[in-house]
Amino acid sequence: MQFVTAGESHGSQLCAIVSGVPAGLVIDEAQINADLARRASGFGRSSRQEIEHNTVSITSGLRFGKTLGSPVTLLVANADGKNWSDRMSTFGKAPKNLAREVTPRPGHADLVGALKNNTDDCRNVLERASARETAARVAAAGIAREFLAALGVEVFSYVTRIGTAEFVEEAPLESAPDYKPLDIEMSEVRCPNEEATEHMLKMIKVAQVKGESLGGCFRVVATGLVPGLGGFESGPERLTSQLGAALFSIPAIKGVEFGLGFEAAQRNGSEVHDLITHTKKSGYSRASNNAGGLEGGMTTGLPLIITAAMKPIPTMASPLKTVNMDTLEEAEASQERSDVCAVPSAAVVAEAEVCFVLANAYLHKFGSDNMDDIQAALAAYKKRLLKG
Ligand code: EPS
């Protein structure tokens, strides 16, 4: 299952095409819209989200709510696009008074993208580098999420840190799979702990007043996985490498940890590796989940637990110093409206990326033509594993 997205942040719409979708999968538009709404919400987003509707329109690949096996096209309109139709017109001449973006933001793709693509207007870069594009990813991943749900897999996320405000968990690798999505979504920063939520909200409010921006950390959890997804035979087959690449494809993601992550580097082996157990009823399992559900590049059958870190957003209400590309003199970086913090949203985007990787691992192992054959192959595999 592959997807490609198209669309600029202030163009008329975003588009995603998902190919390699098995036939016979029930798709619920409302579910995709709910994910889009989760991505757009979260305390600290800019007023842009008040303009956007963030609803999907599916124009191919479905008949009566079920996939046909053909590519699925998903469209998400940019409501703000109408305010930019002259400056972002796909044809015609640029307006005479067009203001070019010549004060690149440190930390954004503006400067290096402009140098790379030989343009004197950073807008030609920032329109696509904008995290608006992640709305298309979340819409596309709705297909992967429905596929996984049909196979008993659930993927969710929660925020563990905004700036220095941390949700301290005693044993996160044990507790993470048990958080209830409803409790997470009740929090304005998508953190399942009230006290930590309050602390994070305060942190964002202070940053807002100062014209600052904030990063943070979040966890993505997948439950219901069978063991043996991915592969050990080559680097690209390792699910660890696929998940890492997928998560690092999200703008501003600077670190990814699996299970114990960096913590494992300072422990003895006996305090890291998960002891192997077996019962007749459930087959093989582990006494702990320090590995975060991955061993040798494959799922162990325990919950997948990934933690990722996001840097602060480069667009700041108190702009940083930069260089004006016309005059080569010191200037203040571009600033219009800006998110103070988008960590809760990035976590939803990370869910989307994880959904695609896991969906592909299932398709690779159990076939890809239609849901009935895939479900039969999965059932046969589960039966074999129980035989030991
Ligand atoms: C973004 C800048 C802001 C964000 C945008 C990402 O947009 P604007 O320049 O229109 O104010 O709101 O995020 C979204 C629109 C979104 O839906 O996530 C950036 O520069 O990355």
In the DSSP assignment, the letter for residue 88 is T
For ligand 1, which residues put their CB under 6 angstroms from it?
A: 9, 40, 46, 48, 52, 80, 130-132, 135, 315, 336-337, 339
pLDDT at 335 over 90: no
- What is the Å distance from ligand 1's center to 46 Cα? 8
Which residue, judged by its Cα, is nearest atom 5 of ligand 1?
A: 132
pLDDT tens track for 342-358? 999 999 999 999 999 99
Residue 129 Cα to ligand 1 middle (Å): 10
Q: Which domain covers residue 71, as residue numbers?
A: 2-387
Give pLDDT tens digits for 239-285.
Answer: 999 999 999 999 999 999 999 999 999 999 999 999 999 999 989 99
What the block records as the tokens of 370 is 């239609």
Residue 336: is its pLDDT beyond 90? no
Q: Which of 172, 186, 149 is nearest to 257 (CA)?
A: 172
Alpha-carbon distance 69 to 82, whole Å? 34
Whose C-alpha lies nearest to ligand 1, atom 14? 132
| Distance from residue 44's CA to the centre of ligand 1 (Å) | 12
How many structural domains is the chain composed of? 1
Cβ proximity of 74 and 14 under 8 Å: no
Q: In this prediction, what percent of the chain has a pLDDT beyond 90?
A: 97
Q: Which atom of ligand 1 is nearest to the CA of 46?
A: 12
- Judged against a pLDDT cut of 70, whether residue 388 lies above it is answered with no
Residue 365 pLDDT greater than 80, yes or no: yes
All residues at 6 or more sequence positions from 266 whose CB lies less than 8 Å from its CB, including other chains: none
The owner of tokens 């998902």 is 18
Model confidence pLDDT, tens digit, residues 158-192: 999 999 999 999 999 999 999 999 999 999 999 99
Task: Look over the chain and give the mean of its residue pLDDT values, rounded to a whole number.
Answer: 97
Q: Which residue's CA is minimally distant from atom 7 of ligand 1?
A: 48
For residue 378, the Cα-to-chain-centroid distance in whole angstroms is: 26
Q: How far is the CA of 221 from the centre of ligand 1 (A)?
A: 26
Q: For position 289, which CATH number holds? A: 3.60.150.10
Tell how far the Cα of 9 is from the centroid of ligand 1, in angstroms: 7
Question: In three state form, how does the secondary structure of 177-229 look?
Answer: HHCCHHHHHHCCCCCCCHHHHHHHHHHHHHHHHHCCCECEEEEEEEECCCCCC
**180 C-alpha vs ligand 1 centroid, how far in Å?**
29
Q: Is-above-0.85 flag for pTM? A: yes
3-state secondary structure 357-385: HHHHHHHHHHCCCEHHHHHHHHHHHHHHH
The residue whose CA has the least distance to atom 15 of ligand 1 is: 132
Specify the pLDDT at position 387. 84
Q: What is the pLDDT of residue 334?
A: 86
What CA–CA distances, in Å, run from 372 to 65, 365, 376? 16, 14, 6
CA atoms within 13 A on the CB side of 137: 25
Ligand 1: atom nearest CA of 10 is: 10
